[in-house]
Amino acid sequence: MNNSATTGTVPATAPAGLSARMQKTRLSITQHARELTAEHGFAGFTVDQLCAGVGISRRTFFNYFAAKIDAVFGHDDDGIPADALDRFMASRPAGIQGISPTLQADLVALFVELLNRDEQAIGSTQGFFAAVHREPELLERMIKVGPERQAEFMKLIAQREGVEASHPGLELLVHSLQFATFKAVDRYLASDSERSLAEEYLAVLTMGREIYSQPLTRS
């Protein structure tokens, strides 16, 4: 939903030694790179143009990223903010064996927090993912990076719950919540409603619960 929580689940904590200012610069580079990709295509802008938009030099850019495509997909550590992730990991009730009864609510709270942080950035990221599917070079990188970051996120959830990361219930829950973010962003960008992106997300989940709450078999 970085970009994360919404877009895909990039677990992260701020790396030791990286100042808040440097992390902000790195995030700004990635956000602007994605905006330019969505607007012009990956080949439609240069590193110099990207640097000008962020207000940095080429030398500074290459201190953060080895190539333009790396900037577009962002650093592994720039996904879910550390404070939000820490709150999620610490919110599991004590004395529970196996999947906790608050897991879904805690994940929804995490996603809502991320959606509330920067609606404009999330909107631009949605345009970026549309561009990815039009460009083979970007799609190839996405096919590689996406599952890796998803796997890291699943490991963190499984660690919190004390189960295997391959637990089918965890995978179904997380994929459903992530899919709901994509649908919420689509509805939010297409609507004139005054609802926030987080409110749109909760509305999508509510509609899903109307179906998921039905019995699995006929009585």
pTM of the model: 0.78
Token reading at 152:
């890291």
pLDDT at residue 172, as a whole number? 95
Confidence tier at 206 by pLDDT (50, 70, 90): very high
Please check whether residue 219 lies inside any domain of the structure: no
Q: What is the pLDDT of residues 73-120, one digit of tens each?
A: 988 777 788 889 999 999 999 999 999 999 999 999 999 998 887 676
Residue type, 148: E
Place of tokens 């990635």: 30
Q: What residues have CB less than 8 Å from 77, skipping those under 6 apart?
A: 12, 13, 14, 15, 18, 23
The pLDDT value recorded for residue 11 is 37
Residue matched to tokens 């602007």: 32
Please check whether residue 218 lies inside any domain of the structure. no
Judge contact between 41 and 133, C-beta under 8 A.
no
The answer on pLDDT for 8 being more than 80 is no
Q: What are phi and psi for residue 16, nearest 5 degrees?
A: -60, 140
Instruction: List the CATH number of the domain containing 25.
Output: 1.10.357.10
Angle between helices 119-132 and 168-190 (to 10 degrees): 100
217 lies in a domain?
no
- Examine residue 195 and state whether it is found in any structural domain, yes or no: yes
In a domain, 192, yes or no: yes
Number of CB atoms found within 10 A of residue 14's CB: 15
**For position 78, what pLDDT does the model report?**
76
Q: Give residue-wise pLDDT tens across range 142-198.
A: 888 889 889 999 999 999 999 999 999 999 999 999 999 989 988 988 888 888 899
At 123 the pLDDT is: 64
Number of domains in the chain: 1
The answer to whether the beta carbons of residues 5 and 111 sit under 8 Å apart is yes
Point out the least confidently predicted range of 11-15, 39-43, 151-155.
11-15
Domain membership of residue 121 as a residue range: 4-212
Is 105 among the domain residues? yes
DSSP the chain: -TTHHHHT-----PPTT--HHHHHHHHHHHHHHHHHHHHH-GGGS-HHHHHHHHT--HHHHHHH-SSHHHHHH--TTSSS-HHHHHHHHHTSPTT--SS-TTHHHHHHHHHHHHHHH-HHHHHHHHHHHHHHTT-HHHHHHHHHHHHHHHHHHHHHHHHHHTS-TT-HHHHHHHHHHHHHHHHHHHHHHH------HHHHHHHHHHHHHHHHTS-SS--
Q: Is residue 149 part of a domain?
A: yes
Residue 9: predicted pLDDT: 37
What would the mean pLDDT of 12-17 be, rounded to a whole number?
Answer: 43
What is the model's pLDDT at position 185? 86
In a domain, 107, yes or no: yes
